[in-house]
Structure formats: structure tokens, C-alpha cells
Amino acid sequence: MSENAYPTAKVGDQEVPWDPEQLRKIQEHPCFSEKACHRFGRMHLAVAPRCNIQCNYCIRDFDCVNECRPGVTSQVLTPEEALQRVDEVMEKIHYIKVVAVAGPGEPLFNEPTFETFRLVGEKYPHLILCMSTNGLLLPDEIDRLDSLGISNVTVTLNAVDPNIGKEIYEYVTYEGKKYTGLEAAEILLDHQLRGLEEAVKRKMIVKVNTVLIPTINDDHVIEISKTIKKLGVYIQNVMPLIPQYRFSHLSPPTPAEKKAVQDELSKIMRQMRHCRQCRSDAIGRLGCDVQQEFEKTEEK
Ligand code: CLF
Ligand code: SF4
């Protein structure tokens, strides 16, 4: 599926092309458009340290590996510090088009995420606001995200069958209660699918990240693509497992294996192939990060 084949939306019986504002949010977004990634950059604001689920491939001492590079711990900012960082960056780097929250934990489980988007959106209305999530709180928070102007959303979806999901997630905490096993996987999947549907309904541009986990979901990823295609997701990003925590005994997929899977899935869903597994405080063009220039110096 080519990048130029932009989507249409079903209105009644008719296929209607996406509107120009939606197209801009693809064409100027370095993750949603491979062409854009050479020209435009993004900045992540690490304002979200807590997480509400436990993935079996995640050591929680580091950035969320659903979107970010494992083994990296980003410095957490307050919303005010985050806005200040945006001010400094916008003054110096004119190719930044996207401001995102992608960790170091789950953005929707951290109130500062919302305050950060409010502050940044008010001051810089032309910037594209982007967020990644495990999806558990997406149905509950979708209206708040919509009213804050978040236009690009990524949900990590590793299974569309709870029997596979239960092998991937150790637990889920929702409304103060901890769930494990099949029940946890069912709750998470139900919320993820409803969240995706609601995001598409609100004209958000939606990406799904799928961690390719050999022997666990490698035969199942095609079902994920079929499901998200039906839901109107724009693009899928298959990320190779980095074996750690409970999956430390698994072998990661080789680049050739990952490519073969992407080739197969591309018959169903548009595939992102240029992901650089960023840090949750990354700034710059993908693969050309410059956040060291803006790091906060610790007060002694
Ligand atoms: Fe960041 Fe993610 Fe938004 Fe991009 S990253 S929240 S969609 S602005 Fe991009 Fe980085 Fe890959 Fe993510 S290259 S890890 S896909
Ligand atoms: Fe780790 Fe992210 Fe999974 Fe939370 S959602 S357990 S931070 S990988």
C-alpha cells in the first residue's frame, strides 16, 4: 500500500476523501509519513512516569518499550518545564512539527500529560499533538484528548485474542483493581478496540504499534492487521521484541524475519518501516536526535 494512497472515510454508502487538515497531519508527521521524516522532526516530552499495566517484556526502570528504546531512562519533566523545553526548542529548531508524549510510562495514566498538552496547544496551535498509549484508558479519556486537539494517536496492540494477550501481559490495573490472566487480557483488549474505534470516529490519525514476539504472537499478527484495517487505522508499526524481563529467554526476530512479516502484512495494512524506537525525551528528526542540547542540568 503506497504512501500516496491516502484514505477515504465511509459516510453512508459513499467513500469520502479525508479532509486537508487530516492530510496535513500525515504529510507533516515524521512517523506517519516516510517522506516527512526527512524534512520534519518531533519532540517528545517525558512527563508521564507511571504505568497501569505490566507487559512481560518491560523492565519498568526504563522508558516504555511499547514506543521507546529500552534501556534508556528519560528525565521526567513537569508540565511547566515541558512548556519551557518547547519554547527553547521552537526558537532554535524550525523543522519540529510534532510535539508528543510517549512515556516514560503510560501517558494516559499521568495527569501531567493533559496539562502539558493544554499548555503546549494553547501557545503553539500550529503544532501537531501526538501521543502513544497502551490503550487501557483510551475510551475513558478520548473526549479529553479530542478537546485538547490531540490529532495523532498510537495504540500498542500485540494481540486481538485474549488467550494470546494473557501470555503477553502480567497484569492490568483499572479503577483501583488489579486483574491478571485471561481477565486482564480481556479488559485490555476490549478497551483498546473501543479506544481505536472512538479515535477514528473523532477523525484522529491512528497508528498501531505491534511488538513482534516470536513463538507468542508471530503467527497471530496477521489477525491484528485484519482487525485494525476494519477499524480504519491508518498505519501499523511492527517493532521487534527486545528480550527482557519475563521474555528474556526468547530470541528476538532478525531484521529479515521482521521484514518478511512486514511484507506479508503490507498486503493488508500500510506499514511503517522507518521507526527508530525513540527515547521518551527525543528531539529532532528520526534518527538524528539533538535532545542533549536541551537537557536540564541537575541542581546540586
Ligand atoms: Fe513520538 Fe510515536 Fe508520535 Fe512519533 S515516535 S509518539 S508517533 S511523534 Fe515514531 Fe519514534 Fe517510532 Fe514512535 S519513530 S518510536 S513511531
Ligand atoms: Fe512497560 Fe510501556 Fe508496557 Fe507500561 S505499557 S509495562 S511502561 S512497555
109-115: which pairs have CB atoms within 8 A and are 24 or more residues apart? 109/48, 109/50, 109/51, 109/52, 109/136, 109/137, 110/47, 110/48, 110/49, 110/50, 112/47, 112/48, 112/78, 112/79, 112/82, 113/47, 113/48, 114/144, 114/148, 115/79
Q: What is the pLDDT of residues 60-89, one digit of tens each?
A: 777 787 776 666 777 899 999 999 999 999
Instruction: Work out the mean pLDDT of the chain and round it to a whole number.
Output: 91
Can you tell me which atom of ligand 1 is nearest the CA of 274? Answer: 13
Q: What is the pLDDT of residue 42?
A: 94
Q: What is the pLDDT of residues 174-195, one digit of tens each?
A: 999 999 999 999 999 999 999 9
Beta-carbon contacts of 121 under 8 Å, excluding residues fewer than 6 positions away, are: 127, 129, 148, 149
pTM: 0.92
Domain boundaries, the chain: 8-288
Could you tell me if 105 and 49 are in contact, meaning their C-beta atoms sit under 8 angstroms apart? Answer: yes
Q: What is the pLDDT of residue 299?
A: 42
Beta-carbon contacts of 83 under 8 Å, excluding residues fewer than 6 positions away, are: 116, 119, 120, 123
Residue 284's SS3 state is strand
Can you tell me which atom of ligand 1 is nearest the CA of 37? Answer: 13
Can you tell me which atom of ligand 2 is nearest the CA of 156? Answer: 5
pLDDT band at 14 (very low <50, low <70, confident <90, very high): low
Q: Does the pLDDT value for residue 113 go beyond 50? A: yes
All three cell numbers of 198, joined, read 472512538
What spacing in Å lies between the alpha carbon of 285 and ligand 2's midpoint?
A: 24
Query: At CA 16, angle to CA 13 and CA 18, rounded to 5?
Result: 145
The CATH number, out of the four listed (1.20.1440.20, 3.40.50.920, 3.20.20.70, 2.60.15.10), of the domain defined by the range 8-288: 3.20.20.70
Residue 230 CB-density burial (10 A; 0-12 exposed, 13-18 middle, 19+ buried): exposed
Q: What is the pLDDT of residue 2?
A: 52
Residue 158's SS3 state is coil
- Smallest Cα–Cα separation from 151: which of 27, 275, 63? 27
Q: What is the pLDDT of residue 8?
A: 67
The ligand 1 site (C-beta within 6 Å) comprises 31, 42, 44, 67, 98, 100, 102, 130, 132, 152, 154, 207, 237, 275-278, 286
Q: Does the pLDDT value for residue 110 go beyond 70? A: yes
Q: What is the pLDDT of residues 185-244, one digit of tens each?
A: 999 999 999 999 999 999 999 999 999 999 999 999 999 999 999 999 999 999 999 998
